[in-house]
């Protein structure tokens, strides 16, 4: 009995040992199989992963493309940017190192705190930027004292530079750091210190100007420290953006506007190329590259003359009498008036129980279309507008480029306002009044336009009714491409009666070139360069009956903000129109005194530059040397 039990126990033990041994053999087989898979079958894959762990591919920011004017003059370029970096692990006392550095260069206390904060957050071998945009003298002082500044080194990067400063600031724009809202997934945007276009053409052409990033392969250790650079693949620099503007002419226009809150636009009446788009006062776009203090920013933001606002495309003004040509064309087209229609101006007109005044208190007497434009008679255009109606006037204004954006792509461009019956009900909640048609006819009331729209209106008047559109970009050229393509201009005809246009042009010619014209004193005297124009004075407040009885004070006696805006539009030369110009001087008073002389000087300079370029070319059209 005992023997049988021992025999059963022996068999049970043998079975358990066999099961255990079999399990161990199975596990060993699985382990050997897995090792074979890893070390033989997938050896190449894991070798690659190991290399990728050891070798990093890092993105290199490409040089930002330049912006140039129509003749290739640089408007936005890259300059060397000397920066101070510090590697925390290479200095035993970072605070003491910064204290020594402060004796050599300007480094505010808040910047020192930033450096210490970044050094605590980053790994000790990662460089921390201390300051950038160093002068050469500051670089020299740091280099001379390098032995006493452990961990500090000079690094050379790039920063954006704008040679023309405030003259072209609104047009060219500026660059700035990437915000979280601007992150689009483009890895370039995540690079430290990378900058993108924030305003102007820098923003419009930002993607083309960025270029394509390069790469570099670096060997790193287990904690990510760079051991050595293995290879480098440079990226593609950004494109060269060529604008239509003439930088020298823009600088002259900016000089004429200096001291005023004003805007000026010059454009080719046939191609639509904008040669000048000036806004005053300006600002220095280089300040955005260097870094602007809070005090400097507040001074810009709180300036009553709005230096950050591009008045040429975003300023909205009542056009005043510069709108009278549109009223005239609408009246002629509808048959409300004829070229022979005359109106007697006694200084005012009664309508709907109200008195509508002419700017000339004593009246102009008997006026026809030409003399009404020449002397800017309000009563003539009150009656023309009354007979024409707001619908026809608004339709003509829209045909001449008002009431909508003109497609420049600049983010701040305003559409302006061309009021209609529907517009007033939708925006004011009331019905259109007949008297509002009269004030619209002389460019007042709800009507608002931009200086650019006034230039486009003038260009379409001058070129015979072709719907020319303004252009600011001549070409976006890949790196290495030198010549821009010839601009193609193919614009539709506006179907405005040529005879009517000729009569309006004759009135504008009389404004500047006949003794009774409102801008005769600002005429261009040079033969072959005469301009035709129209003055405008837009009220910014209602003149009371008390003021009319006592006589309105001289504009320069009024507070600046209560003076009317001064406007002037013109084209030249009269015989063969080539350039259109508009000038608006905020609270400038009289258009004939404040705006017309500026437009005259700008158009003279524009034509002089044409003559200079012609003289610089030989008989075959090639440029002479020397």
CATH of the domain at 167: 3.90.1310.10
> What pLDDT does 625 receive?
37
> What pLDDT does 621 receive?
47
Phi-psi region of 248 (alpha: psi -120 to 50; beta: other; left: phi over 0): alpha
Domain identity same for 357 and 341: yes
**Mean pLDDT for the chain overall:** 86
Domain identity same for 20 and 97: no
Given the DSSP bridges, would you call strands 67-68 and 240-243 parallel, antiparallel or unpaired? parallel
- Please check whether residue 555 lies inside any domain of the structure: yes
Boundaries of domain holding 10: 2-41
Residue that is last in its domain, among 243, 258, 277: 243
- Please check whether residue 480 lies inside any domain of the structure: no
Domain identity same for 116 and 226: yes
Domain identity same for 275 and 361: yes
Domain identity same for 321 and 237: no
Average pLDDT over residues 237-246: 95
Residue that is last in its domain, among 188, 212, 243: 243
Eight-class DSSP state of 105: S
The token pair at 168 is: 């072209």
CATH code assigned at 581: 3.40.710.10
- Percent of the residues in the chain that have a pLDDT greater than 90, as a whole number: 56
Domain identity same for 315 and 462: yes
- Please check whether residue 486 lies inside any domain of the structure: no
Domain identity same for 325 and 462: yes
Eight-class DSSP state of 258: T
More confident residue, 292 or 58: 292
More confident residue, 15 or 143: 143
- Please check whether residue 154 lies inside any domain of the structure: yes
Domain identity same for 65 and 9: no
> What pLDDT does 251 receive?
96
Is pLDDT of 620 > 60? no
CA atoms within 13 A on the CB side of 247: 20
Is pLDDT of 570 > 50? yes
CB count, 10 Å around CB of 485?
10
Q: How confident is the model at residue 49 (pLDDT cuts 50, 70, 90)?
A: very low
In angstroms, how far is CA 6 from the centroid of its own chain? Answer: 101
Dihedral over alpha carbons 19, 23, 28, 30 (to 10 degrees)? 140
Mean pLDDT is lowest, of 211-225, 245-259, 338-352, 403-417, for: 211-225
Dihedral over alpha carbons 582, 588, 592, 596 (to 10 degrees)? -30
Q: How confident is the model at residue 359 (pLDDT cuts 50, 70, 90)?
A: very high
Domains in the chain: how many in total?
3
- Please check whether residue 393 lies inside any domain of the structure: yes
- Percent of the residues in the chain that have a pLDDT greater than 70, as a whole number: 83
Q: How confident is the model at residue 227 (pLDDT cuts 50, 70, 90)?
A: low
Are the C-beta atoms of residues 448 and 416 closer than 8 Å to each other?
A: yes
Average pLDDT over residues 81-90: 85
Mean pLDDT is lowest, of 23-32, 39-48, 393-402, 480-489, for: 39-48
- Please check whether residue 296 lies inside any domain of the structure: no
Are the C-beta atoms of residues 532 and 501 closer than 8 Å to each other?
A: no
More confident residue, 22 or 550: 22
Domain identity same for 421 and 570: yes
- Please check whether residue 301 lies inside any domain of the structure: no
Q: Which residues of 67-104 are buried (b: 16+ CB within 10 A; e: fewer)?
A: bbbbeeebbbbbeebbbbbbbbeebeebeebbeebeeb
Most confident range, picked from 136-150, 234-248, 286-300, 368-382: 368-382
Is pLDDT of 281 > 70? yes
Helix pair 434-441, 390-399: axis angle to 10 deg: 30
Domain identity same for 448 and 576: yes
Domain identity same for 391 and 417: yes
Domain identity same for 560 and 417: yes
> What pLDDT does 420 receive?
96
- Please check whether residue 212 lies inside any domain of the structure: yes
Given the DSSP bridges, would you call strands 262-268 and 579-585 parallel, antiparallel or unpaired? antiparallel
Most confident range, picked from 50-59, 254-263, 407-416: 254-263
Rounded alpha-carbon distances, angstroms, from residue 138 to 78, 101, 152, 154 = 20, 11, 13, 10
> What pLDDT does 365 receive?
96
Q: How confident is the model at residue 249 (pLDDT cuts 50, 70, 90)?
A: very high
Kindly report the backbone phi and psi dihedral angles of residue 590, in degrees, each rounded to the nearest multiple of 5, phi listed first. Answer: -85, 135
Active site amino acids? 321
Eight-class DSSP state of 136: H
3-class SS of residue 318: coil
3-class SS of residue 127: coil
């Amino acid at each position: 009995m005992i023997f049988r039990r021992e025999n059963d126990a022996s068999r049970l033990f043998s079975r358990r040992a066999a099961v255990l041994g079999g399990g161990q053999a199975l596990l060993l087989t699985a382990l050997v199989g897995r090792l074979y898979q890893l070390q033989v079958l997938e050896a190449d894959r894991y070798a690659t992963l190991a290399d990728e762990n050891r070798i990093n591919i890092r993105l290199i920011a490409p040089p930002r493309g330049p912006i140039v004017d129509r003749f290739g003059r640089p408007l936005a370029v890259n300059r060397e940017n000397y920066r101070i970096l510090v590697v925390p692990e290479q200095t035993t006392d970072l605070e003491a190192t910064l204290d020594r550095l402060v004796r050599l260069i300007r480094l505010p206390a808040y910047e020192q705190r930033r450096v210490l904060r970044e050094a605590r957050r980053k790994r000790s071998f990662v460089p921390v930027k201390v300051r950038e945009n160093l002068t050469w003298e500051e670089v020299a002082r740091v280099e001379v004292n390098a032995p006493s500044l452990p961990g500090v080194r000079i690094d050379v990067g790039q920063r954006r530079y704008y040679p023309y400063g405030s003259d072209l600031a609104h047009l060219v724009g500026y660059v700035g750091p990437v915000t979280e809202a601007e992150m689009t997934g483009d890895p370039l945007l995540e690079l430290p210190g990378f900058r993108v276009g924030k305003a102007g053409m820098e923003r419009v052409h930002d993607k083309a100007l960025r270029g394509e990033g390069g790469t570099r392969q670096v060997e790193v250790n287990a904690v990510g420290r760079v051991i050595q650079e293995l290879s480098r693949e440079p990226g593609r620099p950004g494109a060269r953006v060529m604008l239509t503007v003439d930088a020298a002419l823009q600088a002259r226009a900016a000089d004429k506007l200096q001291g005023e809150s004003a805007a000026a636009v010059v454009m080719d009446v046939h191609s639509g190329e904008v040669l000048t788009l000036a806004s005053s006062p300006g600002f220095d776009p280089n300040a955005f590259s260097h870094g602007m203090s809070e005090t400097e920013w507040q001074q810009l933001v709180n300036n009553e003359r709005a230096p950050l606002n591009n008045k040429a495309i975003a300023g909205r003004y009542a056009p005043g009498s510069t709108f009278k040509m549109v009223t005239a064309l609408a009246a002629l087209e509808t048959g409300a008036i004829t070229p022979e229609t005359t109106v007697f101006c006694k200084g005012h007109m009664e309508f709907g129980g109200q008195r509508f005044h002419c700017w000339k208190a004593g009246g102009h007497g008997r006026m026809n279309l030409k003399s009404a434009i020449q002397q800017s008679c309000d009563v003539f255009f009150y009656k023309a507008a009354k007979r024409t109606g707001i619908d026809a006037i608004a339709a003509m204004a829209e045909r001449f480029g008002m009431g909508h954006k003109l497609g420049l792509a600049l983010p701040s461009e305003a559409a302006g306002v061309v009021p209609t019956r529907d517009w007033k009900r939708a925006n004011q909640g009331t019905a259109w009044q007949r008297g509002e048609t009269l004030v619209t006819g002389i460019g007042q009331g709800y009507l608002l336009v931009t200086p650019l729209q006034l230039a486009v209106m003038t260009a379409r008047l001058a070129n015979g009714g072709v719907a020319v559109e303004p252009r600011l970009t001549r070409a976006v050229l890949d790196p290495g491409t030198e010549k821009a393509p010839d601009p193609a201009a193919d614009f539709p005809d506006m179907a405005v009666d040529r005879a009517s246009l000729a009569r309006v042009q004759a009135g504008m010619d009389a404004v500047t070139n006949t003794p009774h014209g409102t801008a005769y004193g600002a005429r261009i005297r040079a033969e072959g360069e005469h301009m035709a124009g129209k003055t405008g004075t837009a009220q910014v407040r209602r003149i009371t009956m008390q003021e009319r009885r006592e006589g309105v004070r001289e504009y320069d006696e009024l507070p600046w903000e209560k003076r009317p805006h001064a406007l002037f539009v013109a084209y030249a030369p009269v015989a063969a129109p080539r350039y259109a110009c508009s000038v608006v001087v905020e609270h400038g008073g009289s258009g004939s005194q404040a705006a017309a002389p500026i437009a005259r000087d700008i158009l003279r300079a524009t034509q002089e530059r044409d003559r200079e370029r012609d003289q610089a070319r030989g008989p075959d059209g090639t440029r002479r040397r020397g």
